[in-house]
Chain A
Amino acid sequence: MITTPHVDWFALSPTLALLAVAASALLAAVLVPGPLRKPVSATVTFAGFVGSFAAAAVLYAHSADAHGALTGSLMRDRWGALAQLILAGAGALAVLVSYGERTKEHVSEYYALLAAAGAGMIFLAQASSLLTIFLGVEWFSIALYILCAIDIDRASRLEAGLKYLITGSFGSAFLLFGSALVYGATGTLRLDLIGRAVADRGLSDDPLLVVGLAMMLVGLAFKMSVAPFHQWTPDVYQGAPTPISGFMGAATKAVAFVLTIRILQTAFAQDAHLWTVLLAVLAVASLVIGNLAALVQTDVKRILAYSSVSHAGFMLMAVAADSALGGRAVLYYLIPYSAMSIGAFAVVAARERELGHDVSADDLAGYGWERPVLGVALWIFMLGFAGFPLTGGFIGKFYAFSAAYRHGWLWLVIIGAAATAVSLWYYLGIVRQLFLRSSAGAAGSTGTPSAPPRDALLQIAVVACVAITVASFFAVQPLIDLAKHAAGSLPF
């Protein structure tokens, strides 16, 4: 006899909203006549993300005390709810950015998959048992594999999808194997019970447990694009449809970090002496490899991909600090970072649509003069990535460095600061292309006669991203308060 557990439908509402939307968008592929298909499915998906955002906001307001939902395999807390807000916002922006690009078939499927990926991530933000974690990871990953390869007539898309699938499965296998070992060592799937079992039974040096932890960290590091598990990142970001690259850069990273912190703090607090050092080492690896490899790239999407690797390093510094301050720093940083990531890829997408091929740094020559709004926006995103004042990136880096310093890791702060200085080199390289060179210099690469008209929705999304990037600098207080309450629901 199986008893039905009590289901907290309210806690599930952000996920359910998107699931419903995914189903509707898929139905639209069949039921809605051709010309209307795109506007309908895009509108529905956008509404789904907005609805999910609203639901997450209400959930945040009504989850002051963290408690389990669905017999503890999901947590209803502010940590998850704030992550859901970031994810839903990223999804809504991605819908806007995608609109102008989807011209051929598979329009409804595209939006359905985007909603499904969003639903998986939003589910994962709350997941608190090894089972739901694996479910959530696979759920959004599979949707993303297909999204990467959705334009099956383009070899680069197919290649990206395939590579993502193979390496991603490999990463997931590690996560699953690790989960099995941890389950074997502790006899439970729930994160909080694992943590208690480790503490009560003194399992923190159990060989099964530590190897399981290492394997789970490999799987998570893969999703966070932390070096040396990052190699899929430039490939996939370059090959995937550009709005999807932006969405992955923002949302995959956000959910992976939120989940990692939840797992480490809830289940493996006793093993902090192991994973703090490991994460600090991985942070250094990401900073070094991400920044140096970005220096020699020519394709803008690859540069942004390596920038994403280096940002994984900055955020890992805060995770490795193993403190509520670090948790706050990551949650705060994810807000402007997501906006900058989606915005930067959106500008690249706009240029790509005008040119009809991949965008190299040279292809941006003089673009700032042709499209001032997009040019200035990309410029702001680059400065934000570099951690410059007047953007949220400044506060985010400052917070992450503070967390590492308070942990006593001055050396890590110094490496981070040096990495910031190096990163300016390639960020400025892009800015230089945008503005500080006349477009006449790059022969034949600009002024394509068939340049499509300005894409209003994409511009709205970019302007929104700029607004978030800049506003997060001035309105630090409310955002930090949100992050503080969210971090309060984890047992730091």
Chain B
Amino acid sequence: MVAAAWICLLLPLAGALLITLLGNVLSRKAAGVLATSSVAGAFVAAAVAFVMMLGDGEHHRSHLSTGFTWLSAGSFQADFSILLDPLSMVMMLVITGVGSLIVLYSIGYMHGDNEERRFFGYMALFVFSMLMLVQGGNLLLLLVGWGLVGLSSYLLIGFWHEKPSAVAAAKKAFIINAIGDATFAIAVIVIIQQTHIVGFDALSALNPDNHGVLNLVALGLLGGAVAKSAQLPLHTWLPDAMEGPTPVSALIHAATMVTAGVYLIARCHTVFESAHQVQNIAAGIGALTIVAAGAIALVQTDIKRVIAYSTMSQIGYMFVGVGVGAYASSMFHLMTHAFFKALLFMGAGIVIHALSGEQDIRQMGGLRKLMPRTYVMMLIASLALIGFPLTSGFFSKDAILAGALASGPYGAALWVLGMIGALLTGVYTSRLFLTVFHGAPGDLVLRQLGPDAHGQGATDGGHGHGEGPRTMLIPVAILTVLALGGGFIQVFDWWTGMQTWLESVVPSLHEPTGWQEAISSIGATLLGLVGVTLGWTVYGSRKDTAPKPSRSLEHKLYFDELYDRIAYAPAAFIARFVTRVVEEPLVIGSGDLVGHVTRGAGEKARLLQNGLVRSYALLIALSFAVMGIVFLAVR
């Protein structure tokens, strides 16, 4: 079993290395096939490990396997090890399963791109990094994986490096994630210094009475989780990250990486339970994100951005879940969300593909007849997103809401926000779906896909109505089935597959009663349907009669502007100030001055230069004077 887990971890790395090293020896197609098979192989290995783990006794499912000792100093020891337990197992299966489908889909999607090999190399690298994150056997390796997924996400968002917007988005994503990495790293340092262990057992070894340290650690971890999972207030990178290729959005910014924060909190649940104010903060952040992101999604016009805000909102549910101690429900929603959200992105990808890169939903419309298969599977994905009864999203979202209701009065407040979120989900989902697939086809649609179009958008595959080649449709079909039926691994409290599976690692804190389950399910479903009805009346008939959205929503609640004001502008100001007052002489000295001297316009310049060196000396002397006086004063 452990061998299978190592194979699962290392196969994608081998794939990435092979694609990089072979370079042009490999044909473009072969690079895609190699990446797909390495990830699919990892899935097979994970599945084998899963089956073997099923054979273990319920409390003997945690396996730590050490590759080699990385660092040992005194009693402190850090190994290069992997941890295989039910929690990492769920993540491994989702990552490699959904991952292999998406990489397969990319073969068709990226066909004809100039740098396909690089793309598949990055994709395999990402899957490796993500597996490293969830399989890492101690906090340091988790941190390493945490950084690496940020790096591969950066590479993939900026994949189309000719697009300045893509490059800017990649940088923004990396830097905001670096803030989270930094707080996470601080938490790890504090844990190591307090306990002198680096394994996950350090989390429960923290002194439960030392609230300062516990809160600090929990806040640090939460900072990392919030940045990686694009929750308020560190969410602004995710919508911009949609500049990357659509399979990247499906894999990284919907199914796997952005849910790493949920995994982190579940993995470190003992710390959060001891520092329960921080856990409450996590739940609160999640609930606020549900509503804020849902509201912003109402007015976005870019098809991928709408789905991105929807992702933030859905991860908000997962944060509420882990925040109120309903860990299994959160992991359950993580899994079903990976299915239906990846499916939504892939569907959006097919639409964008068919329309030669158009992403503005106002240009779309009437695609139902032209793209029937895409229509059906987008319908199923949308229903799952809304939480339509018996689809996968229905079971998982309701489980979280019931858990929130069971956790007490604070949870009840979160429950209300979650309910509002369900309403918003209904509205924005129906708006997206109706504007894209119903109504009259726009000019662009007719030009690209209409009867007299010369198959411009459909040339890539030549299948069906420009809906892409088979390599794109097969993974989409599989995910459609999963989005529809994936919820049946846990049906209320009659059949609790996920709950039982995770019970030995992350036991849930509260057990919702029957009426709490019922009121959550019925309420969320009804509100979702009300939302759909609202959406139908507003957007179903004609799109231009839609009410004008509020300015603050169009500006995404002014978060970007706010950060520009409070973070970027002051930093730029200070940087300019430092440059002008402290460093400017140097710039003059080394840049312009050289020019002056060489051009023979010497005298004035030379004076300046002498002044420069004098000013350095002056600063040194002044600094010394301060140091000397302080030393004399405090000695």
Interface residues of A (CB under 8 A from B): 155-156, 159-160, 163, 166-167, 170-171, 174, 204-205, 207, 210-211, 213-215, 217-218, 222, 228-229, 231-232, 234-235, 238-239, 271, 273-274, 278, 289, 292-293, 295-296, 299, 302, 383, 386, 388-390, 394, 398, 401-402, 405-406, 410, 413-414, 417-418, 420-422, 424-425, 428-429, 432, 435-438, 474, 476-477, 480, 484
Contacts and interface: CB of A to CB of B under 8 A. Distances in A.
B183 interface: yes
A436 B171 CA distance: 11
A228 B161 contact: no
Given A413-B189, A417-B185, A477 B175 contact: no
Contact of B634 (A274, A295, A414): A274
B582 A289 contact: yes
Contacts, number: 176
Interface of B: 69-73, 143-144, 147-148, 151, 154, 158, 161-162, 167, 170-171, 174-175, 178-179, 181-183, 185-186, 189-190, 192-193, 216, 571-572, 574-576, 578-579, 582-583, 586, 589-591, 593-594, 597-598, 609, 612-613, 616-617, 619-620, 623-624, 627-628, 630-632, 634-635
A57 to B, nearest CB: 22
B586 A235 contact: yes
Contact of A174 (B181, B574, B598, B624): B624
B623 A420 contact: no
10 contacts: A156-B594, A159-B609, A160-B590, A222-B620, A229-B620, A295-B572, A389-B147, A413-B189, A417-B183, A477-B69
A421 B594 contact: no
Given A289-B578, A293-B575, A432 B171 contact: yes
Contacts of A437: 161-162, 167
A410 B617 CA distance: 33
Nearest to B593: A159
A218 B70 contact: no
Given A215-B624, A421-B182, A477-B71, 16 more contacts: A174-B620, A207-B635, A210-B635, A228-B582, A231-B583, A278-B627, A293-B579, A386-B178, A402-B192, A405-B193, A410-B216, A413-B186, A417-B182, A417-B185, A428-B154, A484-B73
A167 B613 contact: yes
Contacts of A239: 590
A424 B631 contact: no
A118 B22 CA distance: 41
B589 A235 contact: yes
A480 B590 CA distance: 40
Contact of B598 (A155, A232, A234): A155
Contacts of B170: 436
A413 B210 CA distance: 20
Nearest to B160: A436
A402 B571 contact: no
B367 to A, nearest CB: 33
A436 B167 contact: yes
Nearest to A290: B578
Contact of A210 (B189, B591, B623, B631): B631
Nearest to A277: B634
B619 A421 contact: no
B635 A228 contact: no
Contacts of A217: 627
Contact of A414 (B144, B186, B635): B186
B355 to A, nearest CB: 26
Nearest to B147: A389
B240 to A, nearest CB: 15
A204 B635 contact: yes
A278 B148 CA distance: 36
Nearest to A425: B175
A228 B171 CA distance: 30
Nearest to B620: A229
A437 B163 CA distance: 8
Nearest to A395: B71
B590 A211 contact: no
B182 A418 contact: yes
A211 B631 contact: yes
B211 to A, nearest CB: 15
B171 A428 contact: yes
Contact of A293 (B181, B189, B583, B609): B583
A218 B627 contact: yes
Contacts of A424: 174-175, 178
A278 B186 CA distance: 23
A295 B575 contact: yes
Q: Which of A163, A417, A422, A477 has most chain B Cβ within 10 Å?
A: A417
Nearest to A419: B182
A155 B594 contact: yes
A167 B617 contact: yes
Contacts of A299: 590-591
Contact of A232 (B154, B616, B624): B616
Contacts of A274: 631, 634-635
Contacts of A171: 620
Contact of B161 (A174, A405, A435): A435
A372 B33 CA distance: 25
A298 to B, nearest CB: 9
Contacts of B591: 299
B444 to A, nearest CB: 28
A228 B623 contact: yes
Given A159-B589, A421-B175, A432-B167, A170 B571 contact: no
A67 B525 CA distance: 80
A296 B578 CA distance: 10
A419 to B, nearest CB: 9
A162 B101 CA distance: 63
Contacts of A232: 616
Contacts of A476: 70-71
A438 B590 contact: no
Contacts of B597: 155, 159
A402 B78 CA distance: 15
B635 A388 contact: no
Given A167-B617, A436-B167, A234 B174 contact: no
Q: 10 tightest A-B contacts by CB?
A: A417-B182, A436-B161, A389-B144, A205-B635, A389-B147, A292-B575, A210-B631, A421-B178, A214-B627, A295-B575
A213 B631 contact: yes
A333 to B, nearest CB: 14
B144 A390 contact: yes
Given A421-B182, A477-B70, A405 B583 contact: no
B143 A389 contact: yes
Contacts of A163: 589, 612-613, 616
A398 B578 contact: no
A293 B72 CA distance: 38
Given A229-B620, A401-B186, A428-B171, A234 B590 contact: yes
